[in-house]
A and B are shown apart, each in its own frame.
Chain A
Amino acid sequence: MQTYNINFHGDSTLVVNFGKGIDENINNIVHFYINIFEKNIIQNKYVLDIYLTYNSVVIDYDFNLMESFKLKNIIEKIILENRIESKKNNNFEKIIEIPVNYGEEFGPDLSKISKSIGLSEKEIITIHSSKNYRVHMLGFMPGFPYLGGMDEKISFPRLSEPRISIPAGSVGIAGNQTGVYPFSSPGGWNIIGRTNIKLFDINKSPPNFLESGTYLRFVAN
């Protein structure tokens, strides 16, 4: 029996939670069920948005077209009728490579991190580019991937004072997280490199370069 918990956020959002924390197995369950929900209810006018987070499927709905308790019943029925067979991840064949220019003008914080943690710039680049990072979800800004799985050896705290502007494509480290900025934005992450890949392009369908549930690997240019 799949364990889950349904909550409401405000008057127009239903949240189906499948567990706590950042966990690939939970994120796999979330991906399994968002596909099922989309197949079953996305054609209905009351559905405004369906998206996922690390451990939940989120449904924004129009309360004038669907009452909250009825929607809850519909979702519970769908979960009951659709049991996940394997929590294992089978998306490893979808590893997207992101070419990165590390250091120098592209990664102004790389030398500072190197001096501080006692690893050479080359070692940091090797560690950073040797792992497959899970795209748990997209969020924060269009096309921004929330990645999991960075090696703790290269974790480094956020800047004490955020930069006013970070160029689009910047690859950063904040604590145990690593990520890529799709757009120029203010930010407190330590920037170690930059990619030319456009992570979000409205002229493409779908517009996102990365897909949640897949993996990426940084490749040093």
Chain B
Amino acid sequence: MINIISTGTLSSFQDFGRFGKKKFGVSNSGCLDKFSFMLSNLLCNNDKNEASIEIISGGFKCIFLEEITASITGPEGFFIVNENKKIKINSSINLKKNDTLFIPPNKNGNIFYFSVYGGFKIKKILDSYSYHQPSDITDNLKIVSGYNYSFKKPSVLKERFTNDDFFKKHLVNNGIININYEEEIIESNQKFIKIFENTDYFTTNQFSRQGIRLTGEKSNFFTHQNEISSEVSIGTLQLPPNGLPIILLNDSQTTGGYKKIGSIPKSELSKFSQLKSESKIRFKGVSTEDSVILFNQMVEDFELIGFNAYSFYNLSVNGALISVQISENNSIISIANNEVFNVYKE
């Protein structure tokens, strides 16, 4: 069991999401960064779809009331156990009664996942463990300060970690976000596409599980709209009459009435969700065929992620404590002070 000390901006239970319910107006919800979500479960030897706690923007703290193996995944950085042990993100760790765990905000990304070995003891709502922000139907799946959350089977595993190569290759902002344009946009709005793809956009702090607003030079296209509400999905890029794009995320409404430009493909959604506020991006059109290939390449790379058991040391260097994790075969060494340095054996 854990007791929540602070939740940060929003912490909630998530799994892959809720499907087959859009006909009732219920959106998919589910983890924003599917790959980091799956990684947190794999580090705990769980099924990939076991419910984890998704933490947006860090600031999450809890205390453990019994022993368990837990994992934290997400952007490169560290989390802190008992105020002085800095453990690299993408590690599992054994925690004892009265241990505390804190996930600080991180300059490399937004979204973290916290899994425990065997999973949390919670009930599905409408066939899923995913919290749905815009309604009150899943309030039991929102993490609340002061509340306790139980484990299914409190026990421990070997502590393991992975390097951050997958995250660095696929989930770090490279300045380009792919988009599958609507067929109508490709057929009759090539001029718009040219200007759109040459515009710098910036993510804003208007970010929620429902969507994110971008800022940048306002588009002069589609300023008079008379759209009727129609289908939207995770990643739909809408352009309202004000000329600034909105990208819908997992908890968005199931139908929308603004002009649809296209959709961010599945291969880009984890990276997009991890974008920090004020990140600069440009959009680049790709075919759906190419985006499927890119997604499958990501899956292949993900399947190759290796896990290494590690030993932890807190070293005192010139009076400062430095945390060191060393893998069994010395192939990965992680050193965390206020930054994480990964040292690789040649």
User: Is B98 close to A, CB under 8 A?
Assistant: no
Q: Across the interface, which residues of A come within 8 angstroms of B296, CB to CB?
A: 64
- Report A52-64 CB contacts with B as 1/0, cut-off 8 Å: 1111101010011
* Chain A residues whose CB sits within 8 angstroms of the CB of B19 once the complex forms: 48-49, 60
Residue of A10, A48, A137, A141 near B20 (CB, 8 A) is: A48
Over the window 229-243 of chain B, the binary record of Cβ atoms lying under 8 Å from chain A Cβ atoms (1 yes, 0 no) is 111110110000000
B191 at the interface (CB under 8 A from A): no
Q: Which of B24-32, B152-160, B315-323 lies at the binding interface?
A: B24-32
In the complex, which residues of chain A have a beta carbon less than 8 angstroms from the beta carbon of B233? 9-10, 12-13, 60
Q: Which residue of chain B lies nearest to A137 when distances are taken between CB atoms in the complex?
A: B255
In the complex, A53→B228 CA distance in Å?
10
B264 neighbours in A (Cβ, 8 Å): 10
Quick one: which of B137, B253, B266 contacts A140, CB cutoff 8 A? B253
Among A96-104, A119-127, A157-165, A200-208, the stretch in contact with B: A200-208
Please determine whether B229 and A10 come into contact, CB atoms closer than 8 angstroms.
no
How many A-B Cβ pairs are below 8 Å?
127
Given known pairs A9-B182, A9-B233, the reply for A143 and B228 (CB within 8 Å) is no
Q: How many B residues face the partner with a CB closer than 8 A?
A: 42
Which B11-27 residues sit within 8 Å CB-CB of chain A?
19-26
How close is A148's CB to chain B, nearest CB, in angstroms? 10
Instruction: Please tell me if B346 contacts chain A, counting CB pairs below 8 Å.
Output: no
Q: Which of A93-131 contact B (CB under 8 A)?
A: none
Which residues of B256-287 are within 8 A (CB) of A?
260, 262-266
Q: Is B291 an interface residue (CB 8 A)?
A: yes
Knowing A51-B254, A53-B229, A53-B255, the reply to whether A9 touches B236 (Cβ < 8 A) is: yes
Instruction: Write the chain B residue with the least CB distance to A34.
Output: B23
B-contact bits for A183-208, CB 8 A (1 contact / 0 none): 11100000000000000101000111
**Residues 161-184 of A at the B interface (beta carbon under 8 Å):** 182-184
B292 near A143 with CB under 8 A, answer: no
Q: How far is the CB of A207 from chain B (nearest CB, A)?
A: 6
Cα A54 to Cα B256 in complex, Å, equals 12
* Number of chain A residues close to chain B: CB under 8 A: 43
Chain B residue nearest to A17 (CB atoms) is B230
- State in angstroms the CA–CA spacing of A202 and B233 once bound together: 22
Contacts of B236 in A (CB 8 A): 9-10
Determine whether A25 belongs to the interface, using a CB cutoff of 8 Å to chain B. Answer: no
Among residues 150 to 188 in chain B, which have CB atoms less than 8 Å away from a CB atom of chain A?
180, 182-184
Min CB distance, A41 to chain B, in Å?
12
- With A12-B266, A50-B20, A140-B229 known, 16 other A-B pairs at CB within 8 A are A7-B182, A7-B183, A9-B263, A10-B233, A10-B265, A11-B266, A12-B233, A15-B231, A49-B19, A53-B255, A58-B22, A140-B253, A142-B132, A144-B25, A200-B24, A200-B135
B binding-site residues for A, Cβ under 8 Å: 19-26, 28, 125-126, 132, 134-137, 180, 182-184, 228-233, 235-236, 253-255, 260, 262-266, 288, 291-292, 295-296
Interface of A toward B, CB cutoff 8 Å = 7-13, 15, 21-22, 48-56, 58, 60, 63-64, 68, 137-144, 146, 182-185, 200, 202, 206-208, 212
14 interchain pairs (CB within 8 A)? A8-B183, A9-B182, A9-B233, A9-B263, A11-B288, A49-B23, A50-B20, A54-B230, A60-B22, A138-B23, A143-B25, A184-B136, A185-B134, A200-B135
